[in-house]
A and B are shown apart, each in its own frame.
Chain A
């Protein structure tokens, strides 16, 4: 593990350079700088003069928003984590799986809005939209696995990753070809508009729906993985696919099921995302995809509880971080740096705690 510190024969020309513990030096300096900047930024933001300072309600709103988005991120992150657990592979195209469900359900939502069904029978309509969204995402996930990943099951690690990037581009642009490049406004049923008060905190109704649905889905997943026979097989394959196949488990089938489960969760997330932001477009998969991957890594990739935790933590960080840390330095419109903030979190986690919050603390090497 400690390759940089030990003295040993190295290429003569580079030896002086290489024997210094560069990595550690840079890490410590980097960590100290970031910690200092973060603390200073937060302090300055919170001690801004009255009037410029954010109110307490602002922070509560941010946290509620963050939890809502975190719930969606967690659902997508679970898809990354499940696939990673089974195949040790980053399904880069998972963001597109998520996009597919949201996009396909839009056409039904739009039709229901026009026919009045969306408002007259909101619960039934939402249920149908959920089924459609799940079906769309699952279909894309199955095709993806069958066409792009299965033939490369035993290829070197980077090969399926490159395929996944290609597949991601392909799916997004196929949707552009099918449905056009413009964004579509996703209708929100009247029943879900407005907000309600819970313990004195005002929460948008749609956010409440997002929250409840996501929790239910996560509990169901937990039960499925831990209690069902298929779930046990999945855990066995994740542990050691070769031994699992010797024990009579059909690994191919488990892999497909894993992609289906990931697709179902992505489909739920897709509908919730569409309802929250009321817009769908073929490019909508990329950023939530990366953010969800960050959440999965943040929680410890491969761990189901970790992905859920990572989603919520990242959601809150994303909502609270930029105004808290940046406003104090007088940086204008801190929210424009929200995406950069996500990547910063991703990089910092990978650098300082590659195993994630719930992981072992060290990434496997190579």
Chain B
């Protein structure tokens, strides 16, 4: 019970935080399902719901696993929810008593609109009581959800999150459906903007059905696709079915821009540029284990080198002028030069800093990334790269008359480079070089002792990572056609690092997923632009705390982790089975704390 109270109070504080940064007050009109489920409502309900879920976490006490019965669990969940509600309700009453206008002078997002939404015209006390009641229900629901048996819980959970996801994608899915000439008014309402209830029920049913199917037949389906699983084989094997699926997948990817239209193609183009950057950084951070916080260095280098090589001009207030040094190469001639320059730069900056320990290396690279941004902005290099005004008239990489500036066309150019980078990364990972990097990453001294040349392989990682990153920069330049230093900030480095970490360090599918989630979603959910970095920061912390291997972990690593998990599960169940243990066992790793 004490833990329930604590979790509940924290959840209440989290809700207050969400209200104070504006995630409630600014989104009261963002309908997800009908007019009843709004984003603001979700923000109020989620903390108590999670509090209920967390409050009944089984814990080990004196060597025994304590699990609550269903009744107890519901009570604990309701308690947690109640506390969350009381804390948040107190906040509402406080704001009302103190005067929302006075508070707003400091906290700009605690607005009259927020209070109006929270009180719905009632007095603050009544509104607080209603919030408490709702929170109790949410807390109990969170706890109740956790006590359900697997066959019910899984489909339920899947149905809820998939439906909400479709609710969020209200700017994208309807556009795609319109492009396909599919009638969509039954699913997405033109009035509320979000899903209709009919649409929500249908989506939930389909998601739940898929989840049930996966639970029942998942192994059979997987076996049909992948062939018999062989624990010793590292990569998946090709079966006719998996080959066919790959072809279908490829076809979908290739026609995607025509189906989805320019707006989404544009976002997908950005996603692919960042996927390229992610793949490059993945070599440095994921394979070789060198934390590089200044990856924007290569991005900037690639973009500006390409611009200089292909005859771009400097932006001026009245028009444009030739840069101090100008070439006029074709894009496809320039790209190899860009790659070589970046690889060379990778070796040059890598060499002096290689001896530094991980966190120092991170700071030095951060410094380098900032330096190049200061340099391209500075009046000193203005005659060469245009200073704050930047450059324009960058090549559109045309083949014949087919230019790639149009988002639908750019998609294909970027896709080709992403596939190339994926192939290179994949082959590298399973090569002698990749194994050397793994050895380096896991234990540098042992690797050195085993005859892996740490210097050479680290430099190689920097060069490879830099080369791929510079291609990302070059493509970015082609995509937008003009460069300003404002696009090249430390945030690019952090964004790319986020992609690699969220997806799973060292995992190629992870990089793709990471860029879809961290670049694609914010690109499509424009109304959350202000909160993107807040979410980034929270995601980086949460991933490190809860799921350090990322969303789609690297195969080899996760296998090792799973073995450990299995041993731990066995230990926990042994302990739980041994209900009448005479001597309490000190739980491993939980002592001292």
On A, residues with C-beta under 8 Å from B are: 3-4, 8-11, 14-15, 17-18, 22-23, 26-27, 30, 89-90, 107, 147-148, 151-152, 155, 157-163, 165-174, 176-181, 286, 290, 293-294, 297, 326, 331-333, 336-337, 339-340, 342-344, 346-347, 350-351, 354, 363-366
Contacts of B538 in A (CB 8 A): 166, 170
Minimum CB–CB distance from B336 to chain A (whole Å) comes to 21
**Contact in complex: B537, A168 (CB < 8 Å):** yes
**Contact in complex: A340, B374 (CB < 8 Å):** yes
Contacts of B548 in A (CB 8 A): 155, 159
**Contact in complex: B534, A170 (CB < 8 Å):** yes
With A333-B378, A347-B364 known, 10 other A-B pairs at CB within 8 A are A162-B540, A169-B540, A174-B17, A336-B374, A336-B380, A340-B375, A346-B364, A351-B352, A363-B357, A365-B357
Which parts of B428-472 form the interface with A (CB within 8 Å)?
432, 436, 444-445, 448, 451-457, 459-460
Cross-interface CB contact of B545 among A3, A151, A336, cutoff 8 Å: A151
Complex-state Cα separation, A90 to B545, whole angstroms = 17
Contacts of B366 in A (CB 8 A): 290
Which parts of B314-357 form the interface with A (CB within 8 Å)?
348, 351-357
Minimum CB–CB distance from A297 to chain B (whole Å) comes to 8
Q: A10-B453, A11-B456, A157-B358 are in contact. Are A290 and B367 (CB under 8 A)?
A: yes
**Contact in complex: A178, B364 (CB < 8 Å):** no
**Contact in complex: A340, B370 (CB < 8 Å):** yes
The 3 closest A-B CB pairs, nearest first, are A166-B540, A177-B21, A170-B537
A10, A15, A181 pick with most chain B CB within 10 angstroms: A10
**Contact in complex: A336, B541 (CB < 8 Å):** no
Complex-state Cα separation, A148 to B367, whole angstroms = 24
Of the listed stretches B70-78, B104-112, B248-256, B519-527, chain A binds B104-112
Cross-interface CB contact of B536 among A22, A169, A290, A346, cutoff 8 Å: A169
Minimum CB–CB distance from A93 to chain B (whole Å) comes to 9
**Contact in complex: A332, B374 (CB < 8 Å):** no
**B291 at the binding interface (Cβ < 8 Å):** yes
Cross-interface CB contact of B363 among A179, A346, A364, cutoff 8 Å: A346
B379, B380, B530 pick with most chain A CB within 10 angstroms: B380
Minimum CB–CB distance from A82 to chain B (whole Å) comes to 16
Q: A18-B455, A347-B364 are in contact. Are A23 and B20 (CB under 8 A)?
A: no
**Contact in complex: B541, A163 (CB < 8 Å):** yes
A-B contact count (CB 8 A): 202
**B362 at the binding interface (Cβ < 8 Å):** yes
Minimum CB–CB distance from B40 to chain A (whole Å) comes to 15
**B359 at the binding interface (Cβ < 8 Å):** yes
Q: A152-B544, A343-B368 are in contact. Are A165 and B293 (CB under 8 A)?
A: yes
**Contact in complex: B539, A178 (CB < 8 Å):** no
Cross-interface CB contact of A333 among B363, B379, B445, B537, cutoff 8 Å: B379
Minimum CB–CB distance from B536 to chain A (whole Å) comes to 6
5 pairs, A vs B, C-beta closer than 8 Å: A155-B544, A173-B537, A177-B21, A290-B366, A336-B374
Contacts of A351 in B (CB 8 A): 352-353, 364
**Contact in complex: A23, B107 (CB < 8 Å):** no
Q: DSSP class of A's interface residues: helix, strand, loop or mixed?
A: helix
Closest to B454 in A: A3
Contacts of A297 in B (CB 8 A): 360, 363
**B371 at the binding interface (Cβ < 8 Å):** yes
Contacts of A30 in B (CB 8 A): 352
Closest to A339 in B: B374
**Contact in complex: B380, A178 (CB < 8 Å):** no
A147, A169, A350 pick with most chain B CB within 10 angstroms: A169
Contacts of A180 in B (CB 8 A): 108
**Contact in complex: A10, B456 (CB < 8 Å):** yes
**Contact in complex: A23, B541 (CB < 8 Å):** no
Minimum CB–CB distance from B489 to chain A (whole Å) comes to 10
**Contact in complex: B106, A179 (CB < 8 Å):** yes
Complex-state Cα separation, A152 to B368, whole angstroms = 28
Contacts of A152 in B (CB 8 A): 544-545
**Contact in complex: B544, A3 (CB < 8 Å):** no
**Contact in complex: A18, B379 (CB < 8 Å):** no
Complex-state Cα separation, A148 to B548, whole angstroms = 13
Closest to A177 in B: B21
Contacts of A167 in B (CB 8 A): 537, 541
Contacts of A343 in B (CB 8 A): 367-368, 370-371, 374
**Contact in complex: A336, B352 (CB < 8 Å):** no
Interface 1/0 per residue, B365-386 and A, CB below 8 Å = 0111011001101111000000
Complex-state Cα separation, A326 to B381, whole angstroms = 13
Q: A23-B354, A177-B21, A366-B357 are in contact. Are A166 and B370 (CB under 8 A)?
A: no
**Contact in complex: B537, A166 (CB < 8 Å):** yes
Complex-state Cα separation, A30 to B545, whole angstroms = 41
**Contact in complex: B544, A163 (CB < 8 Å):** yes
**B531 at the binding interface (Cβ < 8 Å):** yes
**Contact in complex: B352, A162 (CB < 8 Å):** no
Contacts of A157 in B (CB 8 A): 357-359
Complex-state Cα separation, A171 to B456, whole angstroms = 39
Complex-state Cα separation, A365 to B355, whole angstroms = 7
Q: A30-B352, A346-B367 are in contact. Are A158 and B291 (CB under 8 A)?
A: yes
**B533 at the binding interface (Cβ < 8 Å):** yes
Q: A3-B448, A179-B108, A347-B367 are in contact. Are A170 and B359 (CB under 8 A)?
A: no
**B497 at the binding interface (Cβ < 8 Å):** yes
Contacts of B454 in A (CB 8 A): 3
**Contact in complex: B379, A332 (CB < 8 Å):** yes
Complex-state Cα separation, A333 to B379, whole angstroms = 7
Minimum CB–CB distance from B569 to chain A (whole Å) comes to 21
**B139 at the binding interface (Cβ < 8 Å):** no
